[in-house]
Structure 1
Amino acid sequence: MRVAICDDDRESCARLRSLIKKQEPDCEVACFDTGKRFLEAKGHFDILLLDIQMEEISGIEVARILRINQEKTILIFVTALKEYAAEAFEVSAFSYLLKPVEPEKFCRVFQSACREVRKMESAGGSQLFFQTRARSYVVQKKEILYVESHKRKVEIHTLGENITIYATMKSMEELLGDGFFRCHRGYLVNLAYVAEYGTGAVRLKNGENVYLAREKYSEFAKTYTKYLKTV
């Protein structure tokens, strides 16, 4: 498991690192003193402990960038600022801890975050984990009908409900992979639910229509024909 601490206070970083190592000795822990350095780091981090008030770029903005890139990193804000709690949960924060952090409370939150990481790992690629300010979601890929763009957010239309998260269509396209097709700049459709298609639209089995860009028509037809041969 890879854990990152992003905080310009060296003492705080050292204290958090010590608490993590006591609980999870095998964890790989990396410390960053600016949000920019963290964002430039290579590789995925399972958990990020993030301060808010830092130079160059705030912790809230770091979190927004992560979510737009559809990073599944579990975010735990560790800050002295009370007033950003609402914004923190808008970027799907797992928890919001105030400094000075009580060791026992930190341990409970961190262990809970570790359990979420292991749950996602065991689910593999068939399940996706999304978190909004209101709640957490575990979604089966096969239950996603289509994804719709809404500026800096996307709306995931599933068989049961619609989920709005911070993400880009490009990141969702990469996340969902084969079986989904970007039929329009604002729409990504699950080929399993296509009932019919024609110039300008794809009709889904539930009766909904999504846009099919004219320049995408030929590519969509070839991809869908190829898909039908595999099912």
Structure 2
Amino acid sequence: MNIAYCEDEKIQKEILEELLCRWGKVDLVWYESAEQMLFECDGRYPFDLIILDIQMRNQNGMELARQIRRDDPQVPLLFLTATKEYVFEGYEVNALRYLIKPIQPSQLFAILGEIQASTKRSILLNGNRIDLNALVYVEAEAHYCHLVFEDHRQKEKIGIRELKTMLDDSFVMIHRSYLVNIAKVDQIRREELSAGSFTLPVARSQLKTVSEAFIEYNKGISL
């Protein structure tokens, strides 16, 4: 799990590090000020969780959270503070939780467990978090891939074979240039399939594999 922590007191950073080590494998990036975090991240927040101390010198954690939210409305935010003064403002930035110092390990561990469960169906790609539940299919174009969702698509610099190694078993190669999320497939025909509003080609060599994956997925749904 990748976690960012913005805190201007080193002793608090060490306390959190010790707790995270007790919980499990975590990569922690520490920022000593809001200004440092904003400068180094430059509008991109490739983290599973951002933990913010509210009472910091210069720009406080709540102001920082508002700036983060302008660039990234989804990344989970957790506030750690010694006062309840800002608790209601946390709702403005869609904060995940608000923990009072000293941190209770059981509360922190429960939150980390929730985050870990939610990230099992997402990946980080070139600094962008990709929601695999929403991804319909992938189309290759030279050294790039188009990631296609119901309402938008985005282009990422990565080969389709490399991307496939980052995805789980629900993504099936249906053609040398296409991967499909089997959960999105509605119907399979001899040379094509339908996935929502999309019609995609199916290579003859992949028809059996795709059909078997489709049957297994729907068998699991019916149980």
- TM range, normalised to the smaller chain? 0.5 to 0.7
Deviations 1:111-138 (A, max 9, x none): 21222233444842726xxxxxxxxxxx
Q: How does 1:74-153 map to 2 (within 5 A)?
A: 74-121=76-123, 123-124=131-132, 126=134, 142=150
- Does structure 1 residue 29 correspond to structure 2 residue 37? no
**Contact 1:2–1:47 under 8 Å retained in 2:** yes
Structure 2: which 5+ residue stretches go unaligned?
Answer: 124-129, 136-147, 155-199, 201-223
The alignment's TM-score, normalised by the length of structure 1, stands at: 0.52
Q: Equivalent of 1:48, from 35, 45, 50?
A: 50
Cα RMSD (Å): 3.0
Kindly tell me: are residues 141 and 87 of structure 1, through their superposed partners in 2, closer, same or farther at Cα, counting changes over 3 Å? farther
Q: Higher Cα Rg: structure 1 or 2?
A: 2
Deviations 1:82-128 (A, max 9, x none): 0111111210111100011111221112221222233444842726x
Q: CA deviation at 1:50?
A: 0.6
**Contact 1:94–1:113 under 8 Å retained in 2:** no
Measured in 2, the distance between the counterparts of 1:51 and 1:113 equals 19
- Does structure 1 residue 63 correspond to structure 2 residue 98? no
Deviations 1:161-197 (A, max 9, x none): xxxxxxxxxxxxxxx445xxxxxxxxxxxxxxxxxxx
Measured in 2, the distance between the counterparts of 1:64 and 1:141 equals 27
2:184: which partner in 1?
A: none
Measured in 1, the distance between the counterparts of 2:69 and 2:19 equals 26
Q: CA deviation at 1:39?
A: 1.6
**Contact 2:121–2:133 under 8 Å retained in 1:** no
The alignment's TM-score, normalised by the length of structure 2, stands at: 0.54
**Contact 2:6–2:52 under 8 Å retained in 1:** yes
Measured in 1, the distance between the counterparts of 2:115 and 2:34 equals 21
Residue type at the aligned position of 1:124: L
Q: CA deviation at 1:76?
A: 0.7
2:37: which partner in 1?
A: 38
- Secondary structure at the residue paired with 1:56? coil
**Contact 2:48–2:115 under 8 Å retained in 1:** no
Give every structure 1 segment of 4 or more consecutive aligned residues whose post-TM-superposition deviation is greater than 4 Å: none
Measured in 1, the distance between the counterparts of 2:24 and 2:73 equals 22
Measured in 2, the distance between the counterparts of 1:79 and 1:119 equals 30
Q: CA deviation at 1:24?
A: 2.2
Residue correspondences, number = 138
Structure 1: which 5+ residue stretches go unaligned?
Answer: 128-139, 145-175, 179-229
**Contact 1:5–1:49 under 8 Å retained in 2:** yes
1:148: which partner in 2?
A: none
- Secondary structure at the residue paired with 1:21? helix
Measured in 2, the distance between the counterparts of 1:87 and 1:118 equals 29
Residue type at the aligned position of 1:111: G
Measured in 2, the distance between the counterparts of 1:52 and 1:4 equals 14
Residue type at the aligned position of 2:56: M
Higher mean alpha-carbon deviation, 59-68 vs 118-127, is at 118-127
